[in-house]
Copies of this chain bind each other. A is one copy, B any other.
Amino acid sequence: MSAPVAAQPFGDRLAEATARRGTPLVLGLDPDPARLWPGTEPVGAVPGATPGEHAAAAVQEHCRRVITATAEHCVAVKLQLACFERLGPPGWETLHRVAALARANGLLVIADGKRGDIDVTAAAYAASLFDGHDTPWGHAPGLGADAITVNPYMGSDAIAPFLEGARRAGGGIFVLVRTSNPGAADFEEQQLATGEPLWRRVASHVAGLDDGKGALADAGAVCGATAPERLADLRAAMPRAPFLLPGVGAQGGTVEALSAAFEPGLGAGLVTVSRALVRAHEQSGGTPEAAAAAAADELRRACLQVAG
């Protein structure tokens, strides 16, 4: 794992990028081969390619189209690893190419794999998603992500190796704290003997990871965008943490509910949208490109207004 020389802290990079691009919008890419944009061809797939290779090539072209159409309104892409992994080894190749495409469009790359493990296993995941792994045969490059999502269930030693890997690469982590799905009530919302819900204990842990460097912390949180009052609690518990905010649009959240997220700055409220952009043409008509760009522009403006 070759350490970049004095990587700029993620919190600075994130704050700078959101300010420069004037947007906290994150393009969520979770491509389904059966629902790609109309007219998408599996570019580069050769005759005799396997179904996985064909599908991966088509997914890559779809992602290229979506990124090209919406990049100017976004600060990052969030790559849903599962959607690439299900295509097998060719999907993994495509994942790397889409990350490169996003970078070439000036976007940060958030790898959404929700990994959680300890010790050398966690370090292996971090190597895979950030800066790669030094083998006896040379360096195997990683995905080059700027940030990743992490599952906290196993505890502090299932978070620390990811943050260590992130810092080495000038990257960050987003720990699942209070997610937007109904099942969050089952464990995340469980009231502890101390009176607080479990998610608040996790939030305190995340806040404690902040080393005070950078304009924002490099240990962030995934927080569902579906309940404004809870978001204020989350912000109080993690004053400098960037929030990754899924749930706007398809899951019923609105940008107006997010003001607490933006308190430390525009980069602290990363509004993640997928279907609301990628399927905008199904509502509004027009080309997928134009509909996605218009939806992204509208959401970006709404964010800027709420962020003030």
A positions within 8 Å CB-CB of B: 30, 32-34, 42, 50-52, 54-55, 58, 80, 82-83, 85-93, 96, 114-122, 124-125, 127-128, 132-142, 151-159, 176, 179, 181-188, 190-193, 195, 198, 201-202, 205
Contacts and interface: CB of A to CB of B under 8 A. Distances in A.
A91 B135 CA distance: 12
A222 to B, nearest CB: 10
A172 to B, nearest CB: 19
Given A116-B116, A191-B192, A135 B96 contact: no
B33 A127 contact: no
Given A85-B125, A155-B184, A191-B192, 9 more contacts: A42-B137, A80-B121, A83-B124, A89-B89, A154-B183, A186-B205, A190-B192, A190-B201, A191-B193
A151 B116 contact: yes
13 contacts: A33-B135, A51-B135, A55-B135, A82-B125, A82-B128, A88-B142, A89-B89, A90-B140, A118-B181, A156-B183, A187-B201, A190-B192, A191-B192
A202 B154 CA distance: 13
A57 to B, nearest CB: 9
Contact of A176 (B92, B142, B153): B153
A198 B201 CA distance: 12
Given A88-B141, A153-B152, A188-B154, A183 B118 contact: yes
The list of the 7 closest CB pairs from A to B, nearest first, reads A155-B183, A51-B138, A155-B186, A54-B137, A157-B183, A52-B140, A55-B135
Contact of A155 (B51, B133, B187): B187
Most chain B beta-carbon neighbours within 10 Å: one of A139, A140, A155, A201: A140
B137 A58 contact: yes
A185 B205 CA distance: 13
A186 B152 CA distance: 9
Given A181-B119, A192-B190, A86 B128 contact: yes
A34 B91 CA distance: 27
Contacts of A155: 181-188
Given A114-B117, A135-B34, A140 B51 contact: yes
A185 B153 CA distance: 10
Contacts of A187: 152-155, 198, 201-202
Contact of A192 (B33, B125, B141, B193): B193
Nearest to A149: B117
